[in-house]
Amino acid sequence: MRNVQGLVAWVTGAGTGIGEATALMLAAAGVKVALSGRREALLSDVATRISAAGGTAMVVPLDVTDRAGVTAAAAEITAELGQIDILFNNHGLNVQDRDWAGSAVDGWDDVIDVNVKGVYNCTAAVLPAMRQRGDGLIINTASMAGKRFSQRAGIAYGASKHAVMALNELLNLEEGNNGIRACAICPGEVNTAILDYRPVPVPAADRDRLIQPEDVAETVLFVARLNPRSCPNEILLTPTHKRRLQPGEPG
């Protein structure tokens, strides 16, 4: 496995949950980490913990739907830390009104803008430099909702994660010959704040049995350490006690 020490990773959605856990784990492995998200105070807290542990982190507050801002952020990271070796597109959101009867246009637009447009924007910002040097790794947080249809995930989130899977696969088909690898990580239920936005939130007593943010972070680090000659196009993670739903079971 390759040594990741000294590589540069750009982590979006880095203030909480999967992004926070991944940033901390990558930094502990010697990766220089750029932290992006909308809430600067949370990003600064993660950066402080990384620095206290001897790691390197920079805070780059960002709205991933702002294409010009994303491009500027990539340039800022490159100037400060060096070339971006790893992009972890981890930002994402969902809304409470999720079905056809209850969904609002604003909610649909918000989910699609962040979950799809944001992935496109960040990827487009790093792709030219990766292509030029013939190397780069892009890891996308997709979802089991991007592998099957789930009423529980909702129409906007399900559509957005299927789109992420398409973007990921097309990156591999079109850019593999340029040394660029893309991996979609498709977790089932993860114990993060996004569960609070479900129409019926997951009970606190059940959350310890779900995938934890650190489980996804370990998967990201595993992918980052793989020899660049190979790349898993996608990885599915499910809670051990709750495997994939059977046909006909409610989503």
Are residues 125 and 74 in contact, defined by beta-carbon separation less than 8 angstroms? yes
pLDDT band at 104 (very low <50, low <70, confident <90, very high): confident
22-77 residue pLDDT tens? 999 999 999 999 999 999 999 999 999 999 999 999 999 999 999 999 999 999 99
Asked if residue 121 is part of any domain, the answer here is yes
Asked if residue 173 is part of any domain, the answer here is yes
Asked if residue 32 is part of any domain, the answer here is yes
Asked if residue 143 is part of any domain, the answer here is yes
Check residue 198 and give its pLDDT: 72
Asked if residue 3 is part of any domain, the answer here is no
Residues in the chain: 251
Asked if residue 154 is part of any domain, the answer here is yes
Number of domains in the chain: 1
Identify the CATH number of the domain in which residue 45 sits.
3.40.50.720
Check residue 246 and give its pLDDT: 46
- Could you say which of 19, 157, 163, 220 is catalytic? 157
Q: What is the mean pLDDT of residues 122-127?
A: 99
Asked if residue 174 is part of any domain, the answer here is yes
What's phi and psi for 9, nearest 5 deg? -120, 135
Whether the model pTM is above 0.75: yes
Q: What is the mean pLDDT of residues 136-153?
A: 88
Rounded percentage of the chain residues whose pLDDT exceeds 90: 72
Residue 197 a catalytic site member = no
Check residue 122 and give its pLDDT: 99
Residue 86 has pLDDT above 50, yes or no: yes
Check residue 243 and give its pLDDT: 58
Can you give the residue range of the structural domain that contains 66? 8-237
Asked if residue 42 is part of any domain, the answer here is yes
